[in-house]
A and B are shown apart, each in its own frame.
Chain A
Amino acid sequence: MSSTWLWFVSRAGGIVSLALLTVVVTLGVGSAGGRRPSVMTVGLHRSLGVGLVVFVLVHVATCVVDSYVPLGWISVVVPFAASYRGLWVGVGALAFDVLAAVLITSVLRHRLPAGLWRAVHWLSYALAAAAVVHGVAMAGADQPVLLAITVGCGATTVAATGWRLLRRSPDRVRRSSVRARGWT
């Protein structure tokens, strides 16, 4: 099946996914690095995180169904298996796999060791980076608007991460000063 609307829907799905992902990551970084997050923040982080999956699925499904580019179902899951622009589609596939892992571990969070959930959730930073790289490489060349949105998303994530790394919260200060007293 090949029609221009599939192509447009696919691109729109991709860019909306990226924008939502950026919001979810920023909310997550904010809750993890700051003071105790509000119920609102946590709720948004969770529901938007689940919601963005719909757009990712639309993005992926329309890409595959659209026969304008040769993409198989395997190559959206297995990284670097695509013949069409294998490297950059592969980065997208990688992001898709990580997203699936983060989602599944979060749903099963209370049945898993706390450390496993946390370790997988840390991969979200790689997920955000991969999504931006995938976006810049696939849609950057011909569409300045898409490029601007993608770069903007990347910059937002970088800024949030920087804030988390540099922030000296009262919590962190107190914990580290107590830890310095020697407990073993």
Chain B
Amino acid sequence: MTALTELVREAGLAGRGGGSFSTATKLELAQQHRADLIINACDGEVDARKDGWVIEHHLMDVLGAAAQLTTGRVRIAAQRDSVTIARLQAACVDTLAVPRHYVSSEESSLVRLAHGGPARPLTRYRPITAGGRSETGRRLRPTLVLNAETVWRIQQIRDHGAAWFRSHGTEREPGPRLVTMVRGVARPGVYEAAAGMTFGHLGALAGGFTAPVGAFWLGGLGGGFVAAADAPVARWSRDGLRRWGIGPGAGTIDVIRAGDDPWLTVTAALDYAAGESAGQCGPCMFGIPALFDDVAALRRSPDEEAVERLYRRLGQLPGRGACHYPDGIAGFVRSALRTFGEVPQAVPARRHRHLSVIGPQS
């Protein structure tokens, strides 16, 4: 184990892409296998902006850390036709242009894409950091995939030390952490924050909330909701959100305004989710559209049988499939049901203001 890995372990850095897995453990495995490096700056989660922000403001730090992490090839992955990839190409960085699909920025999708395959997730029997095989049996080189913010944090730890890093955040989730404030605040954008902050504090970073908050939507499709009434006791960390069955995820915070119909947001997100399956695993390519149909049908007319079907399907989605995308969607719907009522609310007769289109933007 190198001194840098030791330092990262001491700092307690966890992956900032949403998985919160120990970065030092991944680094150690990568060194054993002499892995290449892909830095993920796709901002694949719905409404996420922070990877692009890191590339815009701290590209040199990211490249500096990357050079210390591997002697192999280093590439930065970003969504095709995005501002971020244009910026990277202008800086003459070795890039990986990723198709604009939700699951294409998943770790194994990126590794497959880097080997000339489709950017779709792969069933793995060991971490892709140690290498693997494509579904046609092609050998995939050991490849370490780290989120852009994670790599930037590694450079900060090199510059300022583990003690500085641990002086931010909480004991169990140390270090500064980026948050993307999406809507409902005076100045939407990316801000430096840390685990353990209150929602009031996070809102203040972005100039305060512009309207009374009904609920917070955290972590996009991989996350869920916290009602405004619960917000005072919630903290922005895995521990502080455990009671609501979610975590900070990829660090997005959206606001559903008090008085707005939350199910409009939920169904729009679910509609988008249903179209984002990679079409490889049954529970994903049929299960997620089925969830959307259930929720949409219940909003037209609630009936006992449809409710039972929805809950049965929610139980059938998790734990199957190559990339756990359906697990995230099931968790998202469960969170919505817990927060906004045990049954999707039927649409009242009056017309609703239509919601903005949900999806990854550049």
Q: Evaluate contact between B279 and A114: CB separation under 8 angstroms.
A: no
* Cβ-based interface call for B120 (8 A): yes
Classify the interface of chain B: helix, strand, loop or mixed: loop
Q: Evaluate contact between A183 and B285: CB separation under 8 angstroms.
A: no
Q: Evaluate contact between B285 and A184: CB separation under 8 angstroms.
A: no
Residue of B nearest to A175 (CB): B279
* Cβ-based interface call for B324 (8 A): no
Q: Evaluate contact between B101 and A174: CB separation under 8 angstroms.
A: no
Q: Evaluate contact between A113 and B99: CB separation under 8 angstroms.
A: no
Classify the interface of chain A: helix, strand, loop or mixed: helix
- A178 interface neighbour in B136, B278, B282, Cβ under 8 Å: B278
Q: Evaluate contact between A115 and B137: CB separation under 8 angstroms.
A: yes
* Cβ-based interface call for A179 (8 A): yes
Within 8 A of B (CB), among A106-160: 113-115
Q: Evaluate contact between A183 and B278: CB separation under 8 angstroms.
A: yes
In the complex, per-residue mask of B95-117: 1 if CB is within 8 Å of any chain A CB, else 0: 00001010010000000010011
Q: Evaluate contact between B137 and A113: CB separation under 8 angstroms.
A: yes
Q: Evaluate contact between B136 and A171: CB separation under 8 angstroms.
A: no
Shortest CB distance A145–B (Å): 45
CB-CB under 8 A for A115 and B136, given A183-B278, A184-B117: yes
Shortest CB distance B44–A (Å): 14
- A179 interface neighbour in B104, B116, B119, B279, Cβ under 8 Å: B279
Q: Evaluate contact between B282 and A183: CB separation under 8 angstroms.
A: no
Cα–Cα distance between A140 and B99 once the two chains are bound (Å): 59
* Cβ-based interface call for A4 (8 A): no
Chain B CB within 10 Å, residue with most, of A175, A177, A178, A181:
A178
Within 8 A of A (CB), among B321-360: none
* Cβ-based interface call for B164 (8 A): no
Hey, which chain B residues are within 8 Å of A36, CB to CB? 282
Shortest CB distance B119–A (Å): 5
Q: Evaluate contact between B118 and A184: CB separation under 8 angstroms.
A: yes
Shortest CB distance B260–A (Å): 31
Shortest CB distance A96–B (Å): 29
Cα–Cα distance between A179 and B120 once the two chains are bound (Å): 10
Q: Evaluate contact between A114 and B113: CB separation under 8 angstroms.
A: no
Shortest CB distance A26–B (Å): 24
Hey, which chain B residues are within 8 Å of A170, CB to CB? 286
CB-CB under 8 A for A177 and B119, given A115-B137, A183-B104: no
Cα–Cα distance between A184 and B117 once the two chains are bound (Å): 7
Q: Evaluate contact between A171 and B282: CB separation under 8 angstroms.
A: yes
* Cβ-based interface call for B129 (8 A): no
- A184 interface neighbour in B113, B137, B277, Cβ under 8 Å: B113
Hey, which chain B residues are within 8 Å of A175, CB to CB? 279-280, 285
Cα–Cα distance between A170 and B286 once the two chains are bound (Å): 9
Cα–Cα distance between A184 and B280 once the two chains are bound (Å): 15
Cα–Cα distance between A183 and B136 once the two chains are bound (Å): 16
Q: Evaluate contact between A181 and B113: CB separation under 8 angstroms.
A: no
Chain B CB within 10 Å, residue with most, of A171, A175, A181, A184:
A184
Cα–Cα distance between A115 and B135 once the two chains are bound (Å): 9
Shortest CB distance A32–B (Å): 15
Hey, which chain A residues are within 8 Å of B135, CB to CB? 114
CB-CB under 8 A for A114 and B286, given A178-B278, A184-B117: no
Cα–Cα distance between A177 and B120 once the two chains are bound (Å): 14
CB-CB under 8 A for A174 and B99, given A183-B278, A184-B117, A184-B119: no
Residue of A nearest to B135 (CB): A114
Cα–Cα distance between A114 and B137 once the two chains are bound (Å): 8
Hey, which chain B residues are within 8 Å of A183, CB to CB? 99, 101, 104, 118-120, 278
Cα–Cα distance between A113 and B138 once the two chains are bound (Å): 11
Cα–Cα distance between A179 and B118 once the two chains are bound (Å): 9
Residues of B near any A CB (own CB < 8 A): 99, 101, 104, 113, 116-120, 135-137, 277-280, 282, 285-286
Extra contacts besides A177-B279, A181-B99 (4): CB < 8 Å: A170-B286, A183-B99, A183-B118, A184-B117
Residues of A near any B CB (own CB < 8 A): 36, 113-115, 170-171, 174-175, 177-179, 181-184
Selected A-B contacts with CB under 8 Å, 20 pairs? A36-B282, A114-B135, A114-B137, A115-B136, A115-B137, A174-B285, A175-B279, A175-B280, A175-B285, A177-B279, A178-B277, A178-B278, A178-B285, A183-B99, A183-B101, A183-B104, A183-B119, A184-B116, A184-B117, A184-B119
Nearest 8 A/B pairs, CB to CB: A178-B279, A183-B118, A175-B279, A174-B285, A113-B137, A183-B119, A115-B137, A184-B118
